[in-house]
Structure 1
């Protein structure tokens, strides 16, 4: 059975909309998401330190919105593949408990044995990785799917998926044909 490593933030959880919400609450400014296109994560805001403040504040990771379609598609993948949720969480110690609580609430079918919190994802051994960051995909040896996010729109080195429906088309339809 093929193994898939799936990132949380920016893939299963909608960090971009959460940044926008936090920023509007702090500054009273509604930032157009289109202005973030192509900018490094956090760089599309006037206050360049805002996103770092948000991800280091209690509750940020616990209250992330679920990416549309992710619950259904991850469940379908979980039934057909050996799925691991792999999240770089060590840099933000508050995130460890919050990410696990978030997963338990929104993806209760995922066993704690299939959750990997790490520092660097270079250690990940899987057949497929779905991630939104080049730094995680660059050194991965398997099939690489980059999940579209404003900060990665300029990267063309990997198979791009723009939604969970596209992930399903790439991995579930393909599995049915091979199976």
Structure 2
């Protein structure tokens, strides 16, 4: 099976990183109050501007932690499937080099020839796309597997991945 996996909020804890940036800008919120919403949708305008300025510098993407279980899951998937990391990097073009370095540091076993820095993910040819934004499934030729995140908690989607520990079994169920 050919699998494409998003980076931010799927392999990399971009939410945790953004939460820290918003806290530095003076804005905090409980996770319960974020269900179905993104931080930038509820934060004061001044905090959003400060965080966006930082995101556009690109270094933010170099310092994220991997999502819990992502390293072991990616290693296991790479052993049995054709796996690509497909990240929509064009919103923050300065992030590209930092994203490559991040993959090298946290997934040294991953073949960088299979790292795709793109904008519109409909260009990806794979059987499954694991992503935290259902909008990336529009025009995608395979099946979308929605990775759970606070911002997509209210999105109705038939295939969800809640934890990386369930990746193998969820993909098996989807292919049955």
**How high is the TM-score relative to the length of structure 1?**
0.88
User: Does the CA-based 8 Å contact 1:42-1:52 persist in structure 2?
Assistant: no
1:88 corresponds in structure 2 to 88
For structure 1, the 5+ residue unaligned runs are none
Q: Does 1:9 align with 2:14?
A: no
User: Does the CA-based 8 Å contact 2:3-2:127 persist in structure 1?
Assistant: yes
User: Does the CA-based 8 Å contact 1:7-1:86 persist in structure 2?
Assistant: yes
- Distance, in Å, in 2 between the alignment partners of 1:42 and 1:150 is 13
User: Does the CA-based 8 Å contact 1:129-1:142 persist in structure 2?
Assistant: yes
Higher-helix-fraction structure: 2
> SS in structure 1 opposite 2:92?
coil
Which of 33, 41, 44 pairs up with 2:42? 44
For structure 2, the 5+ residue unaligned runs are none
CA distance 1:122–1:162, change in 2 (3 Å): same
Which stretches of structure 1, 4 residues or longer, exceed 6 Å deviation after superposition?
none
Q: After the TM superposition, which of the residue ranges 86-95 and 102-111 deviates more from structure 2?
A: 86-95
RMSD (CA atoms): 2.0
Query: How far 1:139 sits from its partner (Å)?
Result: 2.0
Q: Number of aligned pairs?
A: 173
